Chains A and B, each alone.
Chain A
Amino acid sequence: MSDVHARIDGIVHGHDVVLFMKGSPLFPQCGFSSRAIAILDHCGVAYHSVDVLQDMEIRGGIKDYSEWPTIPQLYVKGEFVGGSDIMMEMFQAGELQALLAEQGIAAQA
């Protein structure tokens, strides 16, 4: 495993919910990242976000790590869930909420 993959591995296993995005939750720098944040906020769960624009090594490495070509990318309990399109499809079907509940990640009041 390369150094950057080891770093990413540490991040995605270090938090229950991790979103790799462009910008920050308060100031997303891309419409897709903004949509991902809106979905997570609707689900009401705590998440750790990583701004790939501040870390070029992760920006490049994350695409190889997940074999997924775009950002944002959502991970739950270390597993890659998908990008913003899949998050939206899952959210609308209630599957994202179900996944979070199954993994014991409670929505915060």
Chain B
Amino acid sequence: MAMPAAEIEALIRAALPDAEVTITDLAGDGDHYAAHVVSAQFAGKPRIAQHKLVYAALGGRMGGVLHALQLTTATPT
């Protein structure tokens, strides 16, 4: 059920090409991650919409293959 961090980053960047993606493997087991995503496309959008953009990029894996992904989003400063 694990998913490599590089694959998560690639999926996010395919949907949000300007995104800066920082992924931390929280437990060192390739299964529990934190992702911080910074993209200009989040500007003016509520947090739910920002997170939904990232979940959409992950194409249904969230809640499935990817159980544990802590997500934080921000716009570039």
Total A-B contacts with CB atoms under 8 angstroms apart: 31
Which of A31, A32, A69, A71 has the most C-beta atoms of chain B within 10 angstroms of its own C-beta? A69
Q: Which residues in chain A, 14-35, are within 8 Å of chain B measured between CB atoms? A: 31-32
A80: chain B residues within 8 A (beta carbon):
48
Question: Are the CB atoms of A69 and B72 closer together than 8 Å?
Answer: no
| Whole-angstrom distance between the Cβ of B33 and the nearest chain A Cβ | 12
How many B residues, CB 8 Å from partner?
Answer: 13
Which B residues fall within an 8 A CB radius of A? Answer: 47-48, 51-52, 55, 60, 62-64, 68, 70-72
Closest 10 pairs (CB-CB, A-B): A69-B63, A69-B62, A70-B63, A85-B71, A86-B47, A82-B48, A69-B55, A85-B70, A82-B47, A70-B62
Which residues of A does B touch, CB under 8 Å? 31-32, 63, 67-71, 80-83, 85-86, 89-90
> 9 other contacts beyond A32-B68, A82-B47, A85-B71, with CB at 8 A cut-off?
A67-B52, A68-B52, A69-B55, A70-B62, A71-B63, A82-B51, A83-B51, A85-B51, A85-B70
